């Protein structure tokens, strides 16, 4: 027996009902052998045991193991609901694994807040988040509803869009927001008194303490801990914080590193640096990223940066091509000057750092693709994998060009379900709505793609994105874009190895292959075998990261 | 409660925003907080930098210079939290930002909008306004302005300058327009109201001795009521593009006046009365 056949103390074989590897060369197995946190063998139990391992762990015997899901576009704020109660429309799993039911009316919201008020000292702020009125048939939320909940605490309801808050009368009085307040974004009743709506950060900031409390959550190490827990519960083994600045300070980096390095922290964290400031600042950002890479371990990774080019489609702030918006006013807004995009990105491209660019609109997708073409003419990097993220309105022509340039797309496919009806009826109209987040077109064209949840914007978890890509059903139950539906197998690869590819991490995560990290998602049923319309309902036991099981504490 | 006057400076790339801010710093701006978009472009004499932490520079003249970061609200809150808050804040909006959206933040407690200055490059304005990617941002910027500084008129062809001026007027008939470069524009902002026009202010870096503006100090014979003061400011001739000063009012309080174009603010101040400095073109 050679040395490699001698069992070491960490060696373990997990058996399962089936293992889905995301490696088409050997797509399934019955057992997986793990050594030093890496895949030693996937195959039959006998094949695994032939490595001389006798330690067989049968806890997953009746379950399904898949290559760990990789989320290439989420935000650490997905951990916020640990500290800030969730009041959204859809039921949602909290970091502790418990489900919280959706809030289905303004009256129900008031009841939730009243319950919190009952155990909160008078005068102390009550902040709740995730409220999503787009689905409510009842009248628009105002201070009047919140005054039903309490008149002795400041109440601040932070909406899911991130662009709006509603406050109660106590809050308005606390900050002297009275009739005819001049700030744009303060909403009024017909009689001229503020109705409690504060639109956009400039107006939300009028409620200074409450608004700042939400901002501070981002940098709180507890939020990162809860982000990890939320991702584990959703079956994600590699999760991206797309657009972070925390690590730009040494203190921030050290705090982050300490949190992630803990054995209890259940995911590999990909930190995508937010490109912000001016082009002349970018060389220093490159240096900082290279510095962070040196000393961060194999659970904290800095492969890419993120640039934001426009706003959102439902907020009418995405920049889109002719004929622009279907209804509503066009507020399309570039967040950096289009002619500076190349200057912003050049230092990263030259240094070999991947670029993910937030483009919701078709105009911004084009500007980004054109910028990458300029950079590639200047400076060759055949393996760049620069990615259009969101890519919601990318056209077939843009996809062909992106393919030719070696780019990728990361679609916000959850929009089909969460906002698909609104896109068809309100934002872009019936024709273009069918072609939003066009996984089918990308597949036919041969553009490399993944998809994402943008958590906390939509709940984390790739069973839901897969379900959207496979079924294309809206919240009202209508099919939106039947020709953009893809197969379960294609969707599974998009959620695993193809997302890993966009992060330049496909050599270590994204599939179960010899030598790669033993990162797995543990499911109660096989997405390939259940009825496609029930994929999102599959129970998630938890994950295995680096060979170590991380159960969702609330799972059966 | 006293409120800190805030200038928002907007305009597309190349219009001269950074040159303007550098000139303000070089010309003896004191106790101001400057929030810039282009931190790397700010040209500060290293000898006056007294401390640097993260993206914040403390200068020996009492100024603090910081980047806009990911949240303007947070940046402003941090400035307001300083043990000695600044006398003035200048925010440089990004080349594509809508200055009106930036100015919305001046309604935060403790701040007041002194004016929105938008710089328009007479060499490139017409082309920018024809570019389908840029026209929306350009028009939003011009429409938001209280005061438009038409820059580079010294090198632009006269027809370009006049067409640019017409374009600005058609987009924003109410705005005051001054045809000055970024260096001269600093004259409208730099002088501290407490000191009137201070002869110790260093000369402009272009070496020209004469300002593009004329200024006078107006003193009221008897302290005016707020209404009278406001009427006076509103009745100033159109070429009086800027007014500032601490003025005693009839009820004995002193108010800080800022007028930029047609935008007028009066807020209570703890400064001693200075009279009203009125700055005019021509």
Residue range A484-503, pLDDT digits in tens: 999 999 999 999 999 999 99
Rounded Cα distance between A409 and A437, Å, is 9
Angle of helix A462-471 relative to helix A488-495, nearest 10 degrees, comes to 140
Per-residue pLDDT for B204 more than 50? yes
Residue B61: what pLDDT?
Answer: 86
User: How far is it between the farthest Cα atoms of chain A?
Assistant: 87
Which of A124-133, A176-185, B92-101, B195-204 is the least confident region?
A: B195-204
Residue B38 has pLDDT above 80, yes or no: no
* pLDDT at residue B44, as a whole number: 76
Distance CA A545, CA A227 (A): 15
pLDDT of residue B45: 77
pLDDT reading at B203 higher than 80? no
Q: Is the peptide bond before A64 cis (omega within 30 degrees of 0)?
A: no
Q: Distance (Å, rounded) from C-alpha A539 to C-alpha B202? A: 72
The backbone torsions φ and ψ at residue A139, rounded to the nearest 5 degrees and listed phi first, read: -65, 160
Please name which of B183, B113, B95 lies closest in space to residue A182, comparing C-alpha atoms: B113
Q: How far apart are CA A431 and CA A421, in angstroms?
A: 12
Transcribe A488-537 into DSSP letters: HHHHHHHHTHHHHHHTT-TTTSSS--TTSB--EEEESS-TTTS-GGGGGG
> Considering only CB atoms, which chain A residues are within 8 Å of B101?
200, 202
B/e letters for B122-158, b = 16+ CB within 10 Å, e = fewer, are: bbbbbebbeeebbebbbbbbbbbbbbbbbbbbeebee
In angstroms, the separation between the Cα of residue B54 and the nearest Cα of chain A is 7
The mean per-residue pLDDT over the stretch B119-146 comes to 95
User: Chain B contacts of A176, Cβ < 8 Å?
Assistant: 109
Residues in contact with B8: Cβ distance below 8 Å, sequence separation at least 6, in sequence order: B91, B93, B99, B102, B103, B106, B113, B115, B116, B117
Q: H/E element holding A373?
A: helix A362-378
Return all residues near B79 (Cβ < 8 A) that are at least 6 apart. Answer: B33, B35, B64, B66, B85, B86, B89
pLDDT 10s digits, A189-241: 999 999 999 999 999 999 999 999 998 998 889 999 999 999 999 999 999 99
Average per-residue pLDDT in chain A?
Answer: 95
Residue B246 near residue B271 (C-beta atoms within 8 A)? yes
Q: pLDDT tier at B191 (50, 70, 90 boundaries)?
A: low
| Dihedral sign of CA atoms A269, A517, A231, A98 in order | negative
Distance CA A211, CA A352 (A): 38
What does the pLDDT average to over B256-279?
Answer: 94
Q: Three-state SS across chain B?
A: CCCEEEEEEECCCCCCHHHHHHHHHHCCCCCEEEEECCHHHCCCCHHHEEEEECCEEEECCCCEEEECCCCHHHHHHHHHCCCCCCCEEEEECCCCCCHHHHHHHHHCCCEEEEEEEEEEECCCHHHHHHCCCCHHHHHHHHHHCCEEEEECCCCCCHHHHHHHHHHHHHHCCCCEEECCCHHHHHHHCCCCHHHCCCCCCCCCCCCCCCCCEEEEEECCCCCCCHHHHHHHHHCCCCCCCEEEEEEECCCCCEEEEEEECCEEEEEECCCCCCEEEEEEEC
Substitution target in A339, A341, A347, A370 with the highest count of B β-carbons within 10 Å is A339
Peptide bond into A456 cis (omega under 30): yes
- B 74-93 → A contacts, CB under 8 A: 74, 76-77
pLDDT of residue A464: 98
Residues of A in contact with B105 (CB under 8 A): 201-202, 205
Task: Please answer yes or no on whether B136 and A332 come within 8 Å at the CB atom.
Answer: yes
pLDDT digits (tens, 9 = 90+) for A258-274: 999 999 999 999 999 99
pLDDT digits over A137-148, tens only? Answer: 778 899 999 999
Angle between helices B72-80 and A208-217 (to 10 degrees): 120
Residue A245 above 80 pLDDT?
Answer: yes
At residue A269, the 3 state secondary structure works out as strand
Q: Find, in chain A, the residue whose alpha carbon is nearest to that of B76.
A: A205
Work out the pLDDT band at B40, boundaries 50, 70, 90.
low
Per-residue model confidence (pLDDT) at position B210? 55
Smallest Cα distance from A185 to chain B, Å: 8
Burial class (CB in 10 A: 0-12, 13-18, 19+), A297: exposed
Look at residue A556 in the predicted model and tell me its pLDDT: 66
A118, A119, A123, A129: CA torsion to nearest 10: -90
Query: Is A506 buried (19+), middle (13-18) or exposed (0-12) by CB count in 10 A?
Result: buried
- Between A3-12, A474-483, B30-39, the lowest mean confidence (pLDDT) is in A3-12
For residue B194, name the pLDDT band (cuts at 50, 70, 90).
Answer: very low
* Mean pLDDT, residues A432-449: 98
Residue among B138, B155, B56 at smallest CA distance from B97: B138
DSSP secondary-structure letter at A314? Answer: T
Asked if A281 lies within 8 A of B72 by C-beta distance, the reply is no
Residue A33's SS3 state is strand
What residues form DSSP beta bridges with A56?
Answer: A13
Instruction: Read off the pLDDT of each residue in B242-266 and give the average, rounded to a whole number.
Output: 95
Given a contact cutoff of 8 angstroms between Cβ atoms, the answer to whether A18 and A30 are in contact is yes
Residue % of chain B over a pLDDT of 70: 91
What would the mean pLDDT of B193-203 be, rounded to a whole number? 43
Pairwise CA distance, residues A247 & A96, whole Å:
26
Mean pLDDT value across chain B: 88
B176 touches chain A (CB under 8 A): no
Largest CA distance in chain B: 55
Q: Say whether B74 and A215 touch across the interface (CB within 8 A).
A: yes
SS3 A156: strand
Query: Of A4-8, A403-407, B163-167, B221-225, which gets the smallest average pLDDT?
Result: A4-8
Q: Which of B41, B67, B107 is opposite residue A183, by nearest beta carbon?
A: B107
d(CA A249, CA A288): 9
Inter-chain touch A278–B70, beta carbons under 8 Å? no
Query: What is the model's pLDDT at position A297?
Result: 92
Q: Is the pLDDT of residue A403 over 80?
A: yes
Helices (H), A103-233: 106-118, 143-149, 169-174, 200-204, 208-217, 221-233
At A266 the three-state DSSP class reads coil
Side-chain half-sphere of A191: how many Cα atoms within 13 Å? 3
Who among B40, B109, B133 is closest to A338 (CB)? B133
CB B92 within 8 A of CB B34: yes
Distance CA A19, CA A521 (A): 10
Min mean pLDDT across A87-91, A154-158, A366-370, A465-469 is at A87-91
Mutation target to probe the A interface, by most A beta carbons within 10 A, among B42, B94, B113, B265 is B94
Global ipTM:
0.87
Which one is predicted more confidently, A299 or B186? A299
Q: Which residues of chain B are within 8 Å of residue A200 when distances are taken between CB atoms? A: 101, 104
Which of A324-331's residues contact partners 24+ apart within 8 Å by CB, and which partners?
A325/A427, A325/A428, A326/A426, A326/A427, A326/A428, A326/A429, A326/A432, A327/A426, A327/A427, A328/A426, A328/A427, A330/B136
Q: Does B67 touch chain A (CB under 8 A)?
A: yes
Partners of A279 on chain B (C-beta within 8 Å) are 40
Once rounded to an integer, what is the mean pLDDT over residues B107-126?
Answer: 96
B53 touches chain A (CB under 8 A): no
A403-412, B6-15, B18-27: the lowest-pLDDT one = B18-27
| Span A38-49, average pLDDT | 98
Nearest to A208 among B13, B101, B109 (CB): B109
Q: What share of chain B has pLDDT > 90, as a percent?
A: 66
Q: Looking at residue A4, what is its pLDDT?
A: 63
- Cβ of B207: how many Cβ atoms within 10 Å? 7
Residue B195, pLDDT > 50, answer no
3-state secondary structure of A329: coil
For residue B67, the model assigns a pLDDT of 86
Chain A within 8 Å of B72 (Cβ-Cβ)? yes
* Confidence category of residue A95, pLDDT binned at 50, 70, 90: confident
């Amino acid at each position: 027996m050679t040395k490699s056949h001698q069992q070491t103390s960490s060696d373990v074989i997990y058996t399962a009902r089936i293992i889905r590897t995301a490696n088409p060369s050997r797509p399934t197995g019955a057992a997986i052998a793990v050594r030093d946190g890496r895949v030693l063998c996937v195959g039959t139990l006998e094949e695994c045991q032939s490595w001389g391992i006798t330690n067989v762990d049968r806890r997953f015997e009746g379950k399904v193991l898949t290559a760990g899901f990789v989320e290439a576009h989420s935000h650490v704020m997905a951990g916020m609901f640990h500290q800030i109660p969730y009041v959204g429309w859809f039921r949602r799993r909290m970091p502790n694994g418990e489900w919280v039911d959706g809030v289905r009316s303004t009256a129900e919201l008031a009841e939730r807040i009243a319950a919190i008020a009952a155990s909160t000292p008078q005068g102390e702020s009550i902040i709740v988040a995730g409220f999503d009125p787009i689905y409510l048939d009842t009248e628009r939320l105002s201070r009047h509803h919140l005054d039903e909940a309490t008149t002795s605490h400041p109440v601040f309801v932070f909406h899911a869009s991130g662009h709006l808050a509603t406050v109660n009368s106590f809050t308005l009085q606390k900050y002297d927001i009275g009739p005819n307040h001049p700030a744009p974004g303060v909403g009024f009743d017909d009689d001229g008194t503020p109705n409690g709506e504060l639109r956009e950060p400039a107006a939300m900031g009028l409620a200074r303490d409450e608004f700042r409390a939400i901002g501070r959550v981002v940098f709180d190490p507890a939020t990162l801990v809860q982000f990890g827990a939320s991702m584990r519960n959703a079956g994600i083994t590699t999760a991206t914080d797309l657009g972070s600045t925390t690590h730009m300070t040494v203190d921030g980096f050290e705090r982050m590193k300490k949190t992630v390095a803990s054995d209890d922290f259940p995911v590999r964290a990909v930190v995508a640096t937010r490109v912000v400031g001016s082009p002349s600042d970018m060389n220093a950002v490159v240096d900082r990223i290279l510095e962070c890479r040196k000393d961060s371990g194999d659970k904290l990774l800095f492969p890419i940066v993120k640039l934001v080019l426009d706003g959102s489609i439902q907020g009418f702030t995405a920049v889109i091509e002719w004929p622009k918006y279907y209804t509503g006013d066009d507020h399309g807004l570039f967040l950096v000057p289009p002619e500076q995009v190349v200057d912003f990105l050049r230092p990263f491209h030259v240094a070999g750092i991947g670029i993910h660019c937030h483009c919701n609109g078709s105009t911004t997708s084009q500007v980004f693709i054109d910028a990458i073409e300029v950079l590639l003419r200047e400076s060759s990097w055949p393996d760049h994998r620069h990615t259009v993220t969101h890519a919601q309105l990318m056209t077939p022509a843009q996809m062909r060009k992106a393919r030719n340039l070696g780019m990728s797309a990361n679609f916000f496919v959850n929009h089909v379900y969460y906002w698909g009806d609104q896109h068809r009826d309100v934002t872009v109209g019936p024709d273009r709505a069918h072609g939003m987040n066009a996984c089918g077109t990308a597949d036919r064209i041969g553009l490399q793609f993944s998809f994402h949840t943008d958590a906390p914007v939509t709940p984390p978890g790739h069973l839901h994105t897969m379900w959207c890509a496979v079924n294309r059903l809206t919240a009202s139950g209508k099919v939106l874009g039947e020709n953009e539906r893809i197969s379960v197998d294609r969707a599974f690869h998009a959620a695993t190895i193809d997302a890993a590819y966009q992060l330049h991490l496909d050599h270590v995560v994204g599939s179960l292959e010899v030598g790669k990290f033993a990162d797995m998602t543990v499911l109660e049923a096989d997405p390939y075998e259940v009825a496609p319309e029930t994929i999102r309902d599959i129970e998630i036991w938890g994950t295995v990261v680096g060979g170590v099981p991380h159960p969702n504490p609330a799972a059966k | 409660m006293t409120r800190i006057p805030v200038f928002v400076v907007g305009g597309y790339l190349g219009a001269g925003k950074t040159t303007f801010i550098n000139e303000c710093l070089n010309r003896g701006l004191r106790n101001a907080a400057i929030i810039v978009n282009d931190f790397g472009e700010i040209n500060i004499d290293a000898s006056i930098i007294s401390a640097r932490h993260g993206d914040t520079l403390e200068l020996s003249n009492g100024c603090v210079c910081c980047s806009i970061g990911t949240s303007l609200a947070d940046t402003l809150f941090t400035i307001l939290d300083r043990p000695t808050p600044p006398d003035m804040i200048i925010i440089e909006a990004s080349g594509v930002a809508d200055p009106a959206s930036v100015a919305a933040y001046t309604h935060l407690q403790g701040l007041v909008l002194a004016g929105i200055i938008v710089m328009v490059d007479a060499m490139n304005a017409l082309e920018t306004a024809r570019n389908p990617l840029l026209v929306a941002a350009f028009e939003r910027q011009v429409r938001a302005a209280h005061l438009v500084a038409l820059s580079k008129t010294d090198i632009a062809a006269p027809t370009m300058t006049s067409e640019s001026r017409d374009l600005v007027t058609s987009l924003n008939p109410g705005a005051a327009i001054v045809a000055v470069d970024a260096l001269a524009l600093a004259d409208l902002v730099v002088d501290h109201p407490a000191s009137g026009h201070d002869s110790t202010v260093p000369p402009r870096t272009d070496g020209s001795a004469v300002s593009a503006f004329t200024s006078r100090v107006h003193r009221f014979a008897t302290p005016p009521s707020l209404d009278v003061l406001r009427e006076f400011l509103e009745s100033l001739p159109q070429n009086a593009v800027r007014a500032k000063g601490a003025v005693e009012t009839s009820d004995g309080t002193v108010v800080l006046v800022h007028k930029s174009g047609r935008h007028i603010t009066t807020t209570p101040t703890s400064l001693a009365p200075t009279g009203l400095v009125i700055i005019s073109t021509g």
